[in-house]
Chains A and B, each alone.
Chain A
Amino acid sequence: MKSALYVAGIAAALLLYQPIAGHAEKTAELTGRTCALCHGPKGESASSAFPKLAGQNAAYIDAQLKGFRTQTRGDPGAQAYMWAMASRLDDATIAALAAYYAAQKPMVGMSADATLTVEGKKIYEQGVPEAKISACVACHGPDAKGQDTIPRLAGQHAAYLVKQLAYFKSQLRGNAPIMHAAIGEEMTLHQMEAVAAYVASK
């Protein structure tokens, strides 16, 4: 009888504590224990295999996590890591995660080869009209901070950006605005590297 009461007491305690572990706790637990392993504790990933999330626009993170969850973003990295990681996230947790990273001190870039950066700046600001490549600045803004669902590029890992541009080109990344696929079709690897070096250094 005594042990039954004890078990009932523990069960009651568990039930009582359930509501306390709300989204704020869940977010802290997820970012600290899970996301941090690749993206860094505050979204400043050390490895260019994984994007920096610090200061990224909340609406963009929200859209990407939902894209992973519905498996509509299909680049290899998304498939290998994020399809699983996002599969059990509900909308509220996704929103809380997005808000957490958006609130961090924005990602800091690294300077790159000067010639490449200058070339990239030109593509970013003016596009390459003869190759039908539009200017990135039109959507991503003069400081490459993006807005709403358009991502911040400033300070991102250049290697990550090149990879994503290549996935737009090969259409492996299926959740991008349609114009990205069109841009990618025309963009050479060198142009991708140049523009990535430019925004990464901002």
Chain B
Amino acid sequence: MDARKWTRVLFALAAILSSLIGMFATQPAYAVPSFGRQTGFACEACHTAFPELTPFGRRFKLNGYVLDNLPQVQTITPENKEALLLNWIPPLSVMFQASYTKTKTALPDSSGAGLAQNGQVLFPEQMSLFYAGRIAPNLGAFIQATYSSDSGNIALDNTDIRYANHLSIASKDTIFGVTANNNPTVQDAWNSTAAWQVPFSQQSSAAPSPSFQPLLFNAGLAQQVAGLSAYAFWNDSLYAEIGAYRSAPQGTGTVGPLDSVQSDVIDGVAPYWRLAYEHGWGRNALSVGTYGLAIRLFPGAGAPLSGPTNRFTDTALDAQYQYLGDDNIFSVQTTWVHEKQSLDASFNAATPLSANASNTLNGFRIGGSYYYQRRYGAGLGFFTTSGSTDAIRYAPASVTGSATGSPDSRGWMAELDYLPWQNVKFALQYTAYTKFNGASTNYDGSGRNASDNNTIYLLAWFNF
């Protein structure tokens, strides 16, 4: 085999490995002190308990992260226009997470010699550097670079660069803007959508998590796409956004066009939409909304990036309720996603990658949390995934596979939180599965039960 072929094989292996890691990794979520540094606001102005946003936090985000209260480096043109407005101190911050994960039964040893050691310490689980704040008068950014123990690399994490401005529609203030981002829903201001969903915004990357989720739920697209969308938020109540995503994977090893080494490459662009309505009264805020993504993917991974595609249409509903007292804070977030899969490419492949020409997959999550004085918190949640049985697409594999071909998973989560300071969180989280990848017992065909994946997770999370 020549060097080029070896490189391709290595890339293919890396792609498989990273997709496996993707199955385990959960969507991280962050809040950053650099916003506090830029504005002088305490965390509580924008967050109930990070990363959940308050109504003002939503405005700050949709307004482009530009509100400031720092001395500025400023240039004004003879026409009295601003040519430069730069923070004296760059809005930088750091996040450090350390964790301990223990599953009910240890994961199988990779060499097959028996059970591996249980009780994984990750130090760090993730460590991030952020630029989060204003770039220019109406331009701001949330840019995150993360080193994670599982990848061993530093990579661009959640990123949202946006322009925002105001106009008056029907004599009501309207924020409008454009966001360039790398993860569908990372630009969203409500914590009921996937990227920033709370509670349980942080979960163990060392424990197995259900392998089969609608595209909008798992991290399959996160940081592997680039999207541009335009939005408007009218009178603090009605929000509308429309945009499109295109494949922009990281770590491909080349800067040339994507080729068949890549897997799941978007054909053209994938439209994204979002509509939400928020009503605030007294100390309460209630929002309901819908969001979705229609996407055509070339399976790639050896197959050419042309011809038939797999089409996914994800349609989601979400809702959030928040009560923001001075001492007591209570909130509930929920979302439901219905995914329609038309698997023309996989089903008609020479070696079929799916047993059905079309599938459906539904995901539902609900969770609530209570915080006392933003210091002591508790959360409880339920999640379920259900969909068509497909013995090829959801095939048996140790830990990550499904013996029955069913993608169904179901379980509960609970968490206790202690925040000695507003930027430091200690969490004890427990996840219990009643069903995992299609079954309760021997779900993977290798004798593992759903409850074997029950996880205790201890997390120390510092933002500074």
Contact = CB atoms under 8 A, between A and B. Distances in A.
Contacts of B372: none
Contact of A13 (B78, B168, B326): B78
A172 to B, nearest CB: 8
Contacts of A85: 40, 69
A159 B280 CA distance: 11
Given A37-B67, A48-B280, A49-B56, A17 B78 contact: yes
Interface residues of B, dominant DSSP: loop
B45 A81 contact: yes
B152 interface: no
A88 B44 contact: no
A159 B42 CA distance: 22
7 contacts: A13-B78, A17-B78, A33-B67, A41-B166, A79-B42, A88-B69, A88-B71
Interface string A64-94: 0000000000001001110111011000000
A53 B235 CA distance: 17
Interface size class of A (residues with CB under 8 A): 20 to 34
Given A14-B75, A38-B56, A85-B40, 18 more contacts: A13-B78, A21-B76, A33-B67, A34-B68, A34-B69, A37-B67, A41-B168, A47-B55, A48-B280, A80-B41, A80-B42, A81-B45, A81-B56, A84-B40, A84-B69, A87-B40, A88-B69, A88-B71
Given A80-B45, A87-B40, A17 B69 contact: no
A59 interface: no
Contacts of A79: 42
Interface size class of B (residues with CB under 8 A): 20 to 34
Interface residues of A, dominant DSSP: helix
B47 to A, nearest CB: 10
B60 interface: yes
Interface of B: 39-42, 44-45, 55-56, 59-60, 63, 66-69, 71, 75-76, 78, 80, 137, 166, 168, 172-173, 235-237, 280-283, 326
Contact of B63 (A37, A40, A81, A163): A37
A74 to B, nearest CB: 12
Contacts of B44: 76, 80
Contacts of B59: 37-38
Contacts of A46: 172-173, 235-237
A143 B63 CA distance: 36
Contact of A33 (B39, B41, B42, B137): B137
A34 B38 CA distance: 13
